[in-house]
Structure 1
Amino acid sequence: MQFLFPTLTIGFALLAVPFLVHLINVLRQRRRQWAAMDFLLASYRKQRKWIWLRQLLLLLMRTAVVAVLVAMLAGWAGRAGWLDALGGQTNHHIVLLDDSLSMSDQSGGGSAYRRALSALESLGKRLATADGTHQLTVIRTSRAQLVVGAGSKAGDAAADLSAQTVGAENRALDRLMATAPSSLAGGMEQAVELAAGLAEATSSDRTVLYVLSDLRQHDWESPERINASLQELSKSGTEIRMVDCASVPAANLAITQLQPVEDVWVAGVPVMVEAKVRNYGTEIATNVTLDAKLIRYGREVGTPRTDQLYSGPTAALPAMVFEKIEPGKEATKRFQVYVAEPGTHGLTISIPEDILTADNSRSCTLPLIDQQKVLIVDGDVEGRGAYFVASVLNPGGQVRTGAIPEVRPVSFLNSVRSDELAQYRVVYLLNLPRIEDSVARVLNDYVNDGGGLALFLGDATDRENYNRLIAKYPGLLPGTLNAAKDLPLPSDSETPDLLPDNSHPIVEPLAAAGEGAFGLVRVLRSLSLETDRDLALGVRTVIRRRDDAPFVVEHRLGRGRIVTALTDLGNTWTNWTGDPTFVVFLLRTNAFLWSTANPATSRLVSQPLTMVMGNESYGRSVDLIGAATAPPRLSIQLQAEPDAENQDLEVEVSPSAAAIDRSVDVTTLLQPGIFEWWLTRLDGSREVRPVASVIPDGEGDLRRAVRSEIDRALRPTMVTFFDAGQMASASESESGGRTGILLALLAAMMVGEQVLGYFGSYHPPLRAKA
C-alpha cells in the first residue's frame, strides 16, 4: 500500500481500540445466582449465534470506520481496483513543460529543465502503475509559442503527447526525456491558452494541470494574460498545480549584443564592432575575458564542410578584458575588424562559461561590399561646396572611406531616372536654388527605398519652391523654411556659436571635447526652420546654434534618412568648412546616411530564415547548413520558388511552420550561431551566404518570482505550489479522486455503525400513552 503522507499511517494503530473496548466490556461482567438469569441464559444460548454475529458486525464496522478515516487522512495511493470502479472516473493530466532558455540554469547542480523532466518521469511512472484510466498531455512552451505564432490554435499540433492513455510502456514520454531546453524566451501564455482548449475538447471526469517552470521574475511579474486562461480552467473544475523546478540562482554573465557600428561597411575599411556584456548577478564581476573569432567567407570558400563548425577559415582576434562589471549593469567594448575581401563574413565572441552557457556566446555577420558611388550636385557654378565634400570623402593616397564621389551638374539631376539614382549610396544636394517636381518625386522614392540624402541650404535657396514641395511630398523636408536669421553677438565670449547633441551618432566622436568642440567655428546667420507638426517626433537636432535655433537636423523618411544643414558650404555665412570638425561631421554624416541600406547582421532564432537570389544566375537547389555547438552539422536540402513577378527565386524556412508540419527539425532551426546558405550558380559553382542567429535578450536574468506574489497576481484562481521533488505527491491522481469516495464511504459506515449499535443493544419498547 502507498500513501501520500506515510507518517500519518501510524493512525492504523487505532484499529485496536474497538477490540480493547469490547474486551473491557466483557471483563466487567460478573456472575450472580438468580433464577431469572437462568431463563435469560437459556434464551441467550438459543439466540447466541445471532447475537455474536451482530456483535462481530458492529466490531468490524467500527474497525473499518477507523481504517477508512486514517487512509483518507494519509492520502491512500495504493492499488484498489474496486475503489476506482466505484469512482468510475477518467483522469486527464495536462503538463505544461517550460523549456525556455532560462531552464538551462545549472544552479544547485543539474539544470532546472532536467529537474522538470525528472518530475515528469515520476508522474508517468506513478500513473502507469495506478488503476483506472489516466490520460496524459504534454506541451512544451517552445512548441506552443511557435504554433500560436503560426496562427494555429490547435493544441494537438504543439503537444508531444495529446490525451494519450498511460500504459506500462510509454515511448513518447521516453523521447521527451532526451530533449533539451530551447533557445526561445517565454511561451507560457500560449501554452496555457492551448491547454485550456485541450481541456475543454477532451472528455474526462477530472482534469489536473501541472505547470513545470522555473518561475522567473521576468515571466511571472505580470501574468495577466496567463491568468485569463487559468481562470477558464479553474472555473471548469481543473486543479492547477505549479511545480517549481529551479533553485536559488548563482551569478550569471550574458552577452546581450554584438553588432557592427552603423558605418560604411566596405572591404578594406576597418569596421567598428560593439559588444555588450550584462552582469545579472548580485556581485561585481572582475577581469572578464572576451574572446573573438572571425570566420572568412571569401571567394575561395566553395565547398560546404559539415564536419566542421564553419566552412570558412577562422582567425582568432586579440582578446579583450572587462575589468569590472557592476551588478545589474552592462559593460561595452568596441573593437575594430579589418577584412580586405568583399563578402559576408562571420564573427563570434564568447566569455567564460557559467551557470547558463547559452548566453555566453553570440554571433553576427559582417556584410562588406566594394566601394560605392555617392552623387554630389552643387548649385554653385564654381563648385566650391562640391570640392569640399569630394575632398573629404576621397582624400586620396592610402586612405579609403568606401565612397567614390561623383560630381554632376544640376542638369543631370533634372533628368535623372529612379534606376539611375539608385546606383548611388548617398546623394548630396548643395545649395540648389530650386528642386523641380519631377526631381522631388525621384528623390522621395529614392529615400523611401533606403537611400540617404544630405541637403545643404544657403543664400541661393528658393524657400517658396522648397516649402511648396512639403505639400506634395511630405517628409522630404523636416519643416517649413523661413528667412535667414542672424546669430546675435554672444554675451559670454566662452560660449561657442554651435553646440552639438553629443548623443547623436553623427557628432558622437566629438563628445569628448564637449561644447568646446566647435570653439573655432563662427556663424553669422543661417536659415530658420519651423518643424512640421506631423514630423515633430521624427526630427532630431544634431547641431544647434547658441540661441537654440537648429543648425543641422535629421529625420527619417520610409527606410531612408535625410540630414538637412541650414547653411551652405561657402564662406559667406560660416567658416565651418575650414574647421577640422567639418571633416568629422561629413564623414559621420556619410556613414549615417550610408548605413540605412546596410543589411541586418543577425536574426532572432524564432524568425524565419529567408533567401532571395536572381533566377538568371542561380539554380533552384539550395542547401541550408544549420548552426551547431559541435560538428557534424545538419544539412537541409530545399527548393527555391520564383516570386510573383518571376524575377527572383525565394526560399524560406520558418520555425513556426516547421513546428506544425514537422518537415524540418525545429531544434536545428532554433540553434543560435552561424547558419550557411549554399547556393548553386548556373555554371555549377557554389556560393555561401552566412546568417547569424541569436537568442533573445533577458533570458539571462535568473531572478526568482516570489510564490506569494504569483499567488496574489493569479487570484481568484486557486493554485497549489510544489517543488520538483514533491512532484510524486503533487501528481498522485488517485488520492484526489478517492478522497471524495472515501469520505462518502466513511459517512455510510458511520450510519451503519449506529444502526448496528442500536440493534445490538437492549432497548425496551416504548409504552403507548394512555
Structure 2
Amino acid sequence: MEAWFIQHFLNPTMAMGGAALVASPIIIHLINRLRFRRIRFAAMEFLLQSQQRNRRRVLIEQLLLLLLRILIVLALVALIARLILDPRELSLVRGVQAHHVVVLDDSGSMRERGGDHTAFENAVEVVRKLVSEGTRHPGTLQFSLILASEPEQPLFTQREINQSLLQEVEIKLENLRCTHRAVSLLPALESAAKLLTEQRGQIRHVHVVSDYRVVDWETPDPIVSLVKSLEQAGTTVNFVRTVEQSHPNLAITELTGDTQIAASGVPVRLTVRVQNFSDTAAKDVRLQVSQDGTRLPLTIAFDEVPADASVEREFDVTFAEPGKHGVVVSLQRPDSLDADNARYLALDVSLLNRVLIIDGDPGAEESSYLVDALAADPSITGYAPVVESVEYLRQRPLDEFQSIFLINVANLPPDALVPLEEFVSGGGGLAWYLGDQVNASFYNEALYRDGRGLFGLKLASAPAELPRDDEASPAPDLVLSDHPIFRVFSGQENPYIDAARVYRYFPPAEDWERDDQRRGDGVQTIARLRNGDPLFLTHRFGRGRVVSCTTTCGPSWNNLALYASFVVMQLELQKFIARPDRALPQRTVGEPIRIELDPAEYTEEVQFAIPDPAGVRVLRQKAVPKSVRAEQPGGSDDDVESASVDLVAELRDTDQPGIYRVQLMTVDQLPVERWLAYNVPLRESRLKVVPLSDLRTKLADTAAHVQPAGELQWLEGKPAGQDVRNVLLGLLLVLLLSEQALAYRLSYHSS
C-alpha cells in the first residue's frame, strides 16, 4: 500500500495521513445521532406512524449526505497531496526525503552509437540530469551510483545531493569510460537492494539505466523476482532505456589459425570469421590486415554477408623473423559498434619447428619417408626433423620438440618411457607407426595399459595380411572419417583414396572392444580398413594428443608413402598433434592476467604493456609472495595454480581489447616477454533491443516503471497531473454544492 501512495502522489506522506480523515464525517454523523433525547408526548403514536412510513427515504438521504461529505474529504486530500493517475508522469526527484540509487549499465553493447551519441553517453546524461534536478531540493535527497561492472564498489554511496556533489559527479562522469565486457545487471541490482536494506523511514528509488538488449532479457525471472522483493520493501524501481532501436552491426568474431606451428619465412594459414547481427544483408564487406602495427597490402573481400549469418575466409601471413608477433584484422568501414570491428591474435614464431623421430629399425629407412614429407624444403614447411634411436629418449630433454614420432619401435626401457609420458602429458604430441620389430605384448602391457597409456589399442600377438579381391571386393582399402588429418582424401572421385593400398597391419586383440562408445576409454577411431579393423586412432594423454597407426610409415606394409597425398597427410598429422602451449593465449576482455614466478628463475620485477586508444600504457609491479597476495583485497591462494610458485603478479585492468605484453626479468638479467591477445565478447555484439511493449510485458507482474529512451519528464519536474487537478477542482465544487443542497433539504426550517 505504501508503494502505491509513493507512485501516485507527489506528497505521499500527506496522502497517507489524509486518508485517515475519511473517518471524520462518519464519526461526526454517529455523534450527532447520540445527541437526541427521548421525550414522550401526546402525539407520539401519530409521529411513530409517520416515521415508519418515511424511514427508508430518510436513511437513504442521510447516507447520501454522509457519502458526499466523505467524497469532499477525499477530493481535498487528493488535491493537497497532488494525485497522479499515471505514475509515468510523476517526477521522481521531489522535495521529500528520498534516496535515489542509480544502477548504470556499462557493458560493451552500451558503446553502440546512434547518431551523435552512444548509448552510454545517453545513460551518463540521465545520471547527470537526475543529480542536477535533485539540487533544486537541497537537504532532502540522497544519491548512490553503482556500475554494473563493479557492483561491489559503488562510485557514490548515500551522498546528499547539493551543488558540491553535482560538481563532483560532473568530474566523475566526464572521466567515466564504458567497458568492453559482458556484464549482468543482476549483481548490481542485488548490491542496490543490500544498500537499501537498512534504510527505513524515507522514500527509496532504484533507477536502472540500460540499453535492454534481447540477449540480456531472454531469462528475466531473476530480475523480476528481485524487483518484487524491492517493491515489497517499499522501493520504487524505475527502468530507464537509453536506446529505442538497434542499428546494423557487423563483427569480426573469430581469428584463428595454425599458430602453434608458426615458423619464420613460412606462410601461416589464418582464418577470419565475420558475422552479421542485422536483419538485412551487408554488401561489399572488406577487411584489412595489420602485422605488428603495419598494414599489409592485403584486402579480404566478401561480396555479401547474409542477414543473421557468418562467413569466413582463409589467408596467409608470413613473418620474416622469429619471435613474438601480433596480427589485427579489422573492418575497413566502421559501423554502429566499433569495439567488435577488430580481432587480435598473438603468435610466437619459431625459427623452425623441431620434430623428433625415433626409428626402431634404421636399416629399413622408413623414417626417411617421414623426413621427406615434413622437411623436403624446411623453408616451405617450417619443420626440422631429427632422427634418433631410442637411447635419445633416455639421455636428452624433450621439451624443445613440437612432437615425437615412434616408427617400428620394439619396446621402450622404463627410463625412456617415463620422460616420454611426461612430454606428452605436458602437451607434446606423439604419433606411432608399427612394423615387424614391434613387440605386441610390451605394447599391451606397458603402452596400452587398458586404455590409460600412450598407445591407442590392444594389439593381437602378430600382424595380419589384408587380402584384396578387386572383383569380389572392389572398395578402397581405407574407410576415413572427416578428421582434418585426412583432408587430402576428401571430395568425390578422389584418386588418392582409390589408389591407397594396405597389405599388412596389426589387428586388434580379439578381446578388445571395437566400438568406441561401448569401450568408453576416450580413444577415437578416425580411420578403418575395409574389413572394419582400426587403422588410425587418436586420444588424449594429459594435455597432449596421441595418434596410433596400425601399419607402417614406409612402403613395406602399404603404398601410402608412394603418393603425394602422404606428404599432405603427414603435415596435417603434425599440425594436429603439435603441442598447444606454443600457441599464445587468447582471452576475453576483463579476465585478469596472473603471472606466477619461480624466484629461483625470475626477479620480482614485472612490467605490463597495456594497449590504449592513445598508445601503450606501461605499468610496473613487484611480484609478491603468495601469502602476501592472499592478504590483499581480492587475493587468494586459489589464484595460484601451482603450489611450487612463490611469487605472483596480477593485472586486473584488462578491459581494452588488444595485445598485452608482460616483460619479466630472469635472475641473469635477461628479459623474457609473454604476449596475450584480448578480444571483446561475442555476446555484446548482439544489439537487438527489447521493444518497449515487450519489456513492459516482462515486468507486468511488478509495479516498476519503464521510461522510453530520450524522455526525461520523469525527472525534469515538469507539471504532472494538471488535468487531474482541474477535474478534482470541478468535482469538489459540485460535491460542495450538492452537500449544501442536500443538507438544507434534510434540515428543519420553521415556516
TM-score, with structure 1 as normaliser? 0.74
Residues 251-262 of structure 1 mapped to structure 2, 5 A cutoff: 251-262=248-259
1:522 aligns with 2:501: yes
Gaps of 5+ in 1: 7-56, 145-154, 296-309, 656-665, 737-741
Query: Which deviations, in whole Å up to 9, do the C-alpha atoms of 1:69-120 show, x marking residues without a partner?
Result: 8654587979999xx6xxxx74222221111111111135421112212222
SS of corresponding position for 1:143: coil
1:392 aligns with 2:377: no
Matched with 2:296 is: 316
Matched with 1:481 is: 459
Shift of 1:253: 0.8
Task: Report if aligned partners of 1:640, 1:649 keep a CA contact under 8 Å in 2.
Answer: no
Task: Report if aligned partners of 1:259, 1:273 keep a CA contact under 8 Å in 2.
Answer: yes
Shift of 1:269: 2.0
Matched with 1:628 is: 612
Query: Which deviations, in whole Å up to 9, do the C-alpha atoms of 1:236-260 show, x marking residues without a partner?
Result: 2332222221132222111111233
Q: Which moved more, 1:613-622 or 1:217-226?
A: 613-622
Task: Report if aligned partners of 2:610, 2:661 keep a CA contact under 8 Å in 1.
Answer: yes
Residues 572-611 of structure 1 mapped to structure 2, 5 A cutoff: 572-611=556-595
Query: Which deviations, in whole Å up to 9, do the C-alpha atoms of 1:12-34 show, x marking residues without a partner?
Result: xxxxxxxxxxxxxxxxxxxxxxx
Using a 3 Å threshold, how does the CA distance of structure 1 residues 226 and 482 change in structure 2: closer, same or farther? Answer: farther
Shift of 1:441: 3.5
Task: Report if aligned partners of 1:278, 1:328 keep a CA contact under 8 Å in 2.
Answer: yes
1:369 aligns with 2:350: yes
> Following the alignment from structure 2 to structure 1, what is the Cα–Cα distance between the partners of residues 409 and 364?
11
> Following the alignment from structure 1 to structure 2, what is the Cα–Cα distance between the partners of residues 117 and 168?
18
Task: Report if aligned partners of 1:262, 1:591 keep a CA contact under 8 Å in 2.
Answer: no
Matched with 2:163 is: 168
Shift of 1:270: 1.8
Query: Which deviations, in whole Å up to 9, do the C-alpha atoms of 1:158-192 show, x marking residues without a partner?
Result: x1112222223324421124423211013223222
Pick aligned residue for 2:545 from 561, 571, 584 = 561
> Following the alignment from structure 2 to structure 1, what is the Cα–Cα distance between the partners of residues 91 and 408?
91
Shift of 1:762: 8.4
Task: Report if aligned partners of 2:9, 2:82 keep a CA contact under 8 Å in 1.
Answer: no
> Following the alignment from structure 1 to structure 2, what is the Cα–Cα distance between the partners of residues 562 and 624?
36
SS of corresponding position for 1:726: coil
Matched with 2:336 is: 355
Matched with 1:103 is: 110
SS of corresponding position for 2:155: strand
Query: Which deviations, in whole Å up to 9, do the C-alpha atoms of 1:388-409 show, x marking residues without a partner?
Result: 222222325x645333322222
1:444 aligns with 2:424: no
> Following the alignment from structure 1 to structure 2, what is the Cα–Cα distance between the partners of residues 65 and 381?
105
Q: Which amino acid aligns with 1:640?
A: A
Using a 3 Å threshold, how does the CA distance of structure 1 residues 243 and 580 change in structure 2: closer, same or farther? Answer: same
Query: Which deviations, in whole Å up to 9, do the C-alpha atoms of 1:724-754 show, x marking residues without a partner?
Result: 3334416879999xxxxx9xx99xx99x979
Query: Which deviations, in whole Å up to 9, do the C-alpha atoms of 1:519-565 show, x marking residues without a partner?
Result: 21012343345367698484333333335543212222221110111
Pick aligned residue for 2:485 from 502, 506, 511 = 506
Matched with 1:197 is: 194
Matched with 1:672 is: 657
Shift of 1:598: 1.6
> Following the alignment from structure 2 to structure 1, what is the Cα–Cα distance between the partners of residues 681 and 85?
48
Q: Which amino acid aligns with 1:526?
A: Y
Q: Which amino acid aligns with 1:462?
A: N
Task: Report if aligned partners of 1:96, 1:141 keep a CA contact under 8 Å in 2.
Answer: yes
> Following the alignment from structure 1 to structure 2, what is the Cα–Cα distance between the partners of residues 549 and 707?
62
Shift of 1:676: 3.2
Matched with 1:13 is: none
Using a 3 Å threshold, how does the CA distance of structure 1 residues 714 and 544 change in structure 2: closer, same or farther? Answer: farther
Matched with 2:704 is: 719
SS of corresponding position for 1:103: helix
> Following the alignment from structure 1 to structure 2, what is the Cα–Cα distance between the partners of residues 525 and 104?
63
Q: Which amino acid aligns with 1:242?
A: F
> Following the alignment from structure 2 to structure 1, what is the Cα–Cα distance between the partners of residues 474 and 219?
52
> Following the alignment from structure 1 to structure 2, what is the Cα–Cα distance between the partners of residues 516 and 651?
57
Q: Which moved more, 1:179-188 or 1:483-492?
A: 483-492
> Following the alignment from structure 1 to structure 2, what is the Cα–Cα distance between the partners of residues 586 and 116?
57
Shift of 1:629: 2.1
> Following the alignment from structure 2 to structure 1, what is the Cα–Cα distance between the partners of residues 132 and 562?
82
Query: Which deviations, in whole Å up to 9, do the C-alpha atoms of 1:200-249 show, x marking residues without a partner?
Result: 24445332222211111111112344344334324323322222211322
Gaps of 5+ in 2: 1-6, 11-68, 509-513, 627-639
Residues 545-560 of structure 1 mapped to structure 2, 5 A cutoff: 545-560=529-544
Using a 3 Å threshold, how does the CA distance of structure 1 residues 359 and 491 change in structure 2: closer, same or farther? Answer: farther
Task: Report if aligned partners of 1:478, 1:531 keep a CA contact under 8 Å in 2.
Answer: no
Task: Report if aligned partners of 1:263, 1:592 keep a CA contact under 8 Å in 2.
Answer: no
Using a 3 Å threshold, how does the CA distance of structure 1 residues 546 and 242 change in structure 2: closer, same or farther? Answer: farther
SS of corresponding position for 1:590: helix
Matched with 2:239 is: 242
> Following the alignment from structure 1 to structure 2, what is the Cα–Cα distance between the partners of residues 492 and 213?
71
Task: Report if aligned partners of 1:374, 1:426 keep a CA contact under 8 Å in 2.
Answer: yes
> Following the alignment from structure 2 to structure 1, what is the Cα–Cα distance between the partners of residues 296 and 326?
12
Q: Which amino acid aligns with 2:452?
A: P
> Following the alignment from structure 1 to structure 2, what is the Cα–Cα distance between the partners of residues 623 and 79?
49
Matched with 1:290 is: 287
Using a 3 Å threshold, how does the CA distance of structure 1 residues 494 and 168 change in structure 2: closer, same or farther? Answer: farther
Using a 3 Å threshold, how does the CA distance of structure 1 residues 714 and 541 change in structure 2: closer, same or farther? Answer: farther
Task: Report if aligned partners of 2:346, 2:677 keep a CA contact under 8 Å in 1.
Answer: yes
Using a 3 Å threshold, how does the CA distance of structure 1 residues 718 and 524 change in structure 2: closer, same or farther? Answer: farther
Using a 3 Å threshold, how does the CA distance of structure 1 residues 636 and 754 change in structure 2: closer, same or farther? Answer: farther
> Following the alignment from structure 1 to structure 2, what is the Cα–Cα distance between the partners of residues 62 and 539?
81
Using a 3 Å threshold, how does the CA distance of structure 1 residues 694 and 328 change in structure 2: closer, same or farther? Answer: same
Using a 3 Å threshold, how does the CA distance of structure 1 residues 715 and 510 change in structure 2: closer, same or farther? Answer: farther
Task: Report if aligned partners of 2:291, 2:328 keep a CA contact under 8 Å in 1.
Answer: yes
SS of corresponding position for 2:484: coil
Task: Report if aligned partners of 1:517, 1:581 keep a CA contact under 8 Å in 2.
Answer: yes
> Following the alignment from structure 1 to structure 2, what is the Cα–Cα distance between the partners of residues 609 and 439?
37
Shift of 1:586: 1.1
Matched with 1:466 is: 443
Query: Which deviations, in whole Å up to 9, do the C-alpha atoms of 1:634-671 show, x marking residues without a partner?
Result: 3212123478999988553332xxxxxxxxxx4xx311
RMSD: 4.3
Q: Which amino acid aligns with 1:721?
A: V
> Following the alignment from structure 2 to structure 1, what is the Cα–Cα distance between the partners of residues 115 and 744?
65
Using a 3 Å threshold, how does the CA distance of structure 1 residues 430 and 80 change in structure 2: closer, same or farther? Answer: closer
Task: Report if aligned partners of 2:599, 2:647 keep a CA contact under 8 Å in 1.
Answer: no
Identity across matched positions, percent: 26
Query: Which deviations, in whole Å up to 9, do the C-alpha atoms of 1:434-460 show, x marking residues without a partner?
Result: 345554443322211111110113454
Shift of 1:355: 0.8
Task: Report if aligned partners of 2:356, 2:388 keep a CA contact under 8 Å in 1.
Answer: yes
Using a 3 Å threshold, how does the CA distance of structure 1 residues 487 and 444 change in structure 2: closer, same or farther? Answer: farther
Using a 3 Å threshold, how does the CA distance of structure 1 residues 725 and 706 change in structure 2: closer, same or farther? Answer: closer
Q: Which amino acid aligns with 1:432?
A: V
Task: Report if aligned partners of 1:92, 1:204 keep a CA contact under 8 Å in 2.
Answer: no
Matched with 1:22 is: none
Using a 3 Å threshold, how does the CA distance of structure 1 residues 203 and 267 change in structure 2: closer, same or farther? Answer: farther
Task: Report if aligned partners of 1:384, 1:569 keep a CA contact under 8 Å in 2.
Answer: no
Using a 3 Å threshold, how does the CA distance of structure 1 residues 602 and 4 change in structure 2: closer, same or farther? Answer: same
Query: Which deviations, in whole Å up to 9, do the C-alpha atoms of 1:589-642 show, x marking residues without a partner?
Result: 1122224232324322211224467767765433323212234x3321212347
Shift of 1:315: 4.8
Task: Report if aligned partners of 1:561, 1:596 keep a CA contact under 8 Å in 2.
Answer: no
